[in-house]
Amino acid sequence: MISIIGAGPIGSYCAYLLAKKGFEVNIFEEHPKAGLPIQCTGIVTKRLFKYVPKSKEFVVNHFNKVQVVAPDNSFAEIPLEEYLLDRTRFDNYLLNKAVDAGANIHFNHRFKGFQNNKAIIKTKNGLISNKADYFVGADGPTSKVAKSAGLYNNREFLVGMQAIVRGNFNKNTFTTFFGNKVAPNFFAWVVPESRTTARVGLATKRSTNNYFQYFLRALKFQPIEYQGGLIPIYNSKQRVKKGNVFLIGDAAALTKATTGGGLLSGLESSGILSDCIVNNKDYAKQIKKPHYQLLVHNLIRKKLNNFEDKEYIMLINQIKQKKIKKLFANNCREFPSKLLFKLVLAEPKLIKFLF
């Protein structure tokens, strides 16, 4: 028996893979439904469709260009192929696949901790104890499973804030804004859902609301809905296993430091854990294989965090070159090590931004 804490996309995908293999799987979700509250912008690369077939059921927009704006309002436009998800629909799509494969979903069941090798779950009718062969923490950045199992470590977070706004937008282009006055240690974004609505937000380590409100006023947007959440910062020393307790996705802080995205690395961790359970492999060792790319994302983020505004301006000016834009267009950002190597070969001047 396998108990998965959290019915987000990572927990549901893991449940689907294991139920499909014949395991008895129970998913415990503290909320009354999946996909809420929304804590993600929802932009993904086409690599997502390696795990989940593309569907109009949850893909709400398609982008062919990103506009990267420097602190002096100069910008570069880069062709790409990326997609915007309706996260509520996407989360429920994966949960339904898990249930169809045989997994059991329990809403309004909140994990409280471990006691005597059992999970203590709070329900509307009181506390219950759950015994399982494997416990999987898929319960997000502040994972209670990680805390209760002694796997939480010293975590750092970015705080993300986002609003749905109305306006007139180029539907197939999203925009990112860089600079220490806009969003120090990260960036801000305007991501159209349609020609008339967009997701507007940013993330920082501190004073996020101040930067967010200033950004909204500067662009003269009137929010119609607020969203937000914590973005865990990847730590290569993060433990992901203790006894029969395992962590996947944001609960294991498996996020890209450059973008804050954790959906693809989370789905990958679900696949790795499923394979380890089915074939009796060591999850702690197997999960290290994809970590190299996350380490490269961390390296890039650390370099960017040391940038002054003038360096952002210089970098974005370099990106305007046709040969550089072509490399960005033809190389998936999920694999930054390959992209960095090609960029430096194409334009040796970029080396100075690494050192």
Instruction: Give pLDDT, residue 64.
Output: 94
What Rg value do the Cα atoms of the chain yield, rounded?
Answer: 21
Instruction: Give pLDDT, residue 292.
Output: 81
Of 165, 276, 301, nearest to 227 by C-alpha is: 165
Instruction: Give pLDDT, residue 350.
Output: 65
Instruction: Give pLDDT, residue 289.
Output: 77
Segment 37-94, tens digit of pLDDT: 777 889 999 999 999 999 999 999 999 999 999 999 999 999 999 999 999 999 999 9
Of 114, 123, 115, 94, nearest to 29 by C-alpha is: 123
CATH number for 2-295 (one of 3.30.70.1150, 3.40.50.620, 3.50.50.60, 1.10.1740.10): it is: 3.50.50.60
pLDDT beneath 50, residues of the chain? none
CA distance 142 to 9: 16
CA distance 287 to 207: 34
Q: Which two tokens mark 273?
A: 């854990």
Output the CA–CA distances (angstroms, integers) from residue 135 to 9, 60, 157, 244, in the order listed. 17, 34, 25, 6
Q: pTM, whole model, 2 decimals?
A: 0.92
Segment 217-234, tens digit of pLDDT: 999 998 999 999 999 999
Which letter, b or e, does each residue of 87-115 get, where b requires 16 or more Cβ atoms within 10 Å of its Cβ? bbebbbbbbebbbebbbebbeebbbeebe
Question: Is the separation of the CB atoms in 43 and 172 below 8 Å?
Answer: no
